[in-house]
Structure 1
């Protein structure tokens, strides 16, 4: 496994968002839009992503085994990129995205900043939703968010309104239409909603490669110096 990001359990409420009041949502209970983990693997030289939700109710019969949530995973592949994630949510300057994956119970689509969409292969492996990215593994940054599935809305996300309602989220105008964002610490999502900036997660493996090589080099240098000093002392 290349990386595993685990998101805190039970934080799928935005900034005290009100969930839609239609019976479909009330009967589903809680946790169906709660992102708990995002992982990456290399399979046959390709980056494969895996996403896990807390629960998978499926009242609409989605072929991937769930139907009430929409998850978005954005990849920062290179410097620059598109900094707008969703209304009310953006990336830090210079850390925009070049590829996004829209994950629903009815399939996974890859989306470009220009709006181009294409379906990608997706399947279930136990509690994980898995899909092919078509990308080689690399030193990427990852943004993740989960909202409620709407087949007719942009990004397949139900919108927000101050009053809430049967089929919309109750939240102040200008807030992003997602109830959970990918973060490692419980305090990070609140900062993202308040500031309107979501920070990327980056696998530590890549960040540690350079220090590890440096440590190896210093260790080798120490051995050489010890050998030379030992010879000099003879």
Structure 2
């Protein structure tokens, strides 16, 4: 495993969001939009991301064994990038995303900031939902969010409104259409909802590898310089 980010349990309420009042959601109980963890693995040279949710009710009979949650993942893989993640939610300056993945109980999509959409291979591994990103592992930044599945909405995320409704999340004006955000601590999530800025999580292992490679390169350069200076 390349990395594992854990998210606090039971924080799938946004800032006191009210879930839709339709029986479909009320009967499902709690936890189906609660993100517990995001993990990364390397398989055949490609990055596979795995998401763990608290529960997987499936009243709509999604082929992947769940049907009420939508997971959105954004990767900061280079300089610049798109800073707007969702309405009401952005990245810090100069830490935008270059590629995104949407995971639902009915399949997955890979998206770019320009709006290009291509199918992504998504499957279940026990309690995990996995997606083949199609890109090699790297020192990326990761953003994650979970909302309620809506097949007709942008990003397949059920929208919010101040008054809520049978099929709409009740939330303050301008709130993002997600009930859980990938964050290391509850206060980090609260701050993200309050400010509209979500900080990325970055694996520390890749940073260590980059430092080791830099030290190795500098050491090699020093040896080469010493060899050249000693030559007659």
Asked if TM exceeds 0.5, the reply is yes
2:55 matched residue in structure 1: 55
Q: Equivalents in 1 of 2:103, 2:91: separation in Å?
A: 20
What is the Cα deviation at residue 122 of structure 1? Answer: 1.2
Structure 1 segment 114-193 matched on structure 2, within 5 A: 114-193=114-193
Which runs of 5 or more residues in structure 1 are unaligned? 217-234
Q: Equivalents in 1 of 2:70, 2:210: separation in Å?
A: 37
1:19 matched residue in structure 2: 19
What is the Cα deviation at residue 213 of structure 1? Answer: 6.9
SS in 1 for 2:26: helix
Provide, for residues 44-94 of structure 1, a one-character-per-residue CA deviation record: whole Å limited to 9, x for no partner: 111011001000000000011100000100000001000000000000000
Provide, for residues 146-184 of structure 1, a one-character-per-residue CA deviation record: whole Å limited to 9, x for no partner: 000000000001110010110000001101000000001
Q: Equivalents in 2 of 1:127, 1:202: separation in Å?
A: 23
What is the Cα deviation at residue 208 of structure 1? Answer: 2.4
What is the Cα deviation at residue 209 of structure 1? Answer: 3.0
Give the TM-score, by structure 1 length. 0.90
Larger radius of gyration: 1
Provide, for residues 108-152 of structure 1, a one-character-per-residue CA deviation record: whole Å limited to 9, x for no partner: 100110111111111100000011101011110000000000000
Evaluate the alpha carbon distance shift between residue 120 and residue 215 of structure 1 in structure 2; reply closer, same or farther with a 3 A threshold. closer
Evaluate the alpha carbon distance shift between residue 116 and residue 66 of structure 1 in structure 2; reply closer, same or farther with a 3 A threshold. same
What is the Cα deviation at residue 211 of structure 1? Answer: 5.4
1:110 matched residue in structure 2: 110
What is the Cα deviation at residue 206 of structure 1? Answer: 1.4
Q: Equivalents in 2 of 1:210, 1:103: separation in Å?
A: 30
Which runs of 5 or more residues in structure 2 are unaligned? 217-232
Q: Equivalents in 1 of 2:143, 2:67: separation in Å?
A: 22
Evaluate the alpha carbon distance shift between residue 74 and residue 166 of structure 1 in structure 2; reply closer, same or farther with a 3 A threshold. same
Q: Equivalents in 1 of 2:155, 2:69: separation in Å?
A: 11
SS in 1 for 2:194: helix
What is the Cα deviation at residue 212 of structure 1? Answer: 5.7
1:223 matched residue in structure 2: none
SS in 1 for 2:25: helix
2:230 matched residue in structure 1: none
What is the Cα deviation at residue 32 of structure 1? Answer: 0.3
- Asked whether 1:194 is paired with 2:199, we answer no
Q: Equivalents in 2 of 1:167, 1:104: separation in Å?
A: 18
2:229 matched residue in structure 1: none
SS in 1 for 2:165: coil
1:43 matched residue in structure 2: 43
- Count matched residues: 217
What is the Cα deviation at residue 202 of structure 1? Answer: 0.3
